[in-house]
Structure 1
Amino acid sequence: MTTERLSPPMRAGERETLRSFLDFHRATLAMKTEGLSDDDLRRQSSPPSTLSLLGLVRHMAEVERTWFRRVINGEDIPLVWSEEGDFQAAYDASKADGAEAFEAWQTEVAHARRIEEAAASLDVTGYQPRWGEHVSLRVVMLHLIHEYARHNGHADFLREAIDGTVGA
């Protein structure tokens, strides 16, 4: 299956622009992982770093879950891969199953989209306990764009080290 990645609009309202850029970055991560086996996805391509493409997918599932469900929606739910709230646990993909990780990520993206679409405006707020602050949906969407952009840069290097594939 080939991921469809649409370019964000050059002229649109704030919310549509944020939504489009976030979806663009989600699709970029999906593209970076296409056609790889679980062993490839688990490969730690830049020793001594333990970072892998599968670890990035698992991490982004946690990020989506935390910011949209826990912060904006106020859901009292644990992380996907750590009952203790250890955000680093998702990065350890050494024994992870690719299908499980992608299903969790896609589930969290679907929840995030529903929460964002149901919000009355970008000014809706939720409490981020790690920051000790109330944050707007606008800030959450910008933070997610930042997270994906940063990790998609990592994904570029990881994918190239696996099979030489470059470009996004």
Structure 2
Amino acid sequence: MTSHRPSPPLRAGERETLRAFLDYHRATLAWKCEGLSDDALRRRSMPPSTLTLLGLVRHLAKVERAWFRRVINGEDVPLVWSADGDYQAAYDVGAATRASAFAAWQTETEHARRIEREADSLDVTGYHRRSGETVSLRLVMLHLIHEYARHNGHADLLREGVDGTVGV
């Protein structure tokens, strides 16, 4: 595996640093899936868990949409994989393919990048319907960094279980 991850800056402003770390983690997820077939991406490496690399990509497409489009941008769009709000639907990879999962994920990351770039500041807020709270773009970016970092740890273990590949 070869990494195509951007290096976050060692000294930069808050927004540039958050943006770079989020892109670093997005690239890490793509890297962990690199070179695998649809079947390998659907493989559960630690049964009885149903977690798979493809499920993580689908989940993170949903997370990107939920936080950036639905919360910060206030768009009335359904979840990526569920019109009825089933947050677990992303993990159902029975008929899922790399092409469909990565297309959805890339579409949502592009929307997220656009929404973040167009926001006046990290203090821009949106309404989180599930919690009933108003949240800042700063919180959303930090939450996404946390979400990717957590799931990239899962991706490390999943990839090792699929084909023995390890790496930072």
Q: Which residue of 2 aligns with 1:143?
A: 143
1:102-160 C-alpha deviation (Å, 9 max, x unpaired): 00000000000000000000000000011110000000000000000000000000000
Match of 2:23 in 1: 23
The answer to which of 85-94 and 18-27 deviates more is: 85-94
Query: Offset at 1:2?
Result: 5.9
Structure 2, unpaired ranges of 5+: none
Q: Gaps (5+ residues) in structure 1?
A: none
Distance in 2 between the 1:70 and 1:138 partners? Answer: 16
Question: 2:88 is paired with a residue of what secondary structure?
Answer: helix
Q: Any idea what the Cα deviations from partners look like across 1:52-93, whole Å, max 9, x if unmatched?
A: 000000000000000000000000000111011111000111
- Which AA in structure 2 matches 1:143? H
Q: Name the amino acid aligned to 2:108.
A: E
Greater shift, 85-94 or 15-24, is seen at 85-94
Q: Percent identity?
A: 76
Establish whether residue 153 from structure 1 lines up as the match of residue 133 from structure 2: no
* Mapped contact 1:3–1:30 kept (Cα < 8 A): no
Shift of 1:94: 1.9
Following superposition, the deviation at residue 97 of structure 1 comes to 1.4
What are the Cα deviations for residues 11-47 of structure 1, in whole angstroms up to 9, with x where unaligned? Answer: 0000000000000000000000000000000001110
User: Which amino acid in structure 2 is aligned with residue 4 of structure 1?
Assistant: H
2:136 maps to amino acid = S
Pair 1:74-2:74 in alignment: yes
Q: Distance in 1 between matches of 2:95 and 2:45?
A: 16
Amino acid at match of 1:100: S
Any runs of at least 4 consecutive aligned residues in structure 1 with deviations exceeding 6 A, and if so which?
none
Which whole-Å CA distance do the structure 2 matches of 1:121 and 1:3 have between them?
A: 31
For residue 44 of structure 1, give the secondary structure of its aligned residue in structure 2.
coil
Distance 1:73 1:140 in 2: 12
Aligned length: 168
Spell out the pairing of 1:1-40 with structure 2 (5 A cutoff).
4-40=4-40
Superposition pairs of residues 55-134 of structure 1, within 5 angstroms: 55-134=55-134
Q: Which residue of structure 2 aligns with residue 43 of structure 1?
A: 43
CA contact (8 A) 1:70 1:76 kept: yes
**Counterpart Cα distance in 2 of 1:22 and 1:130:** 23
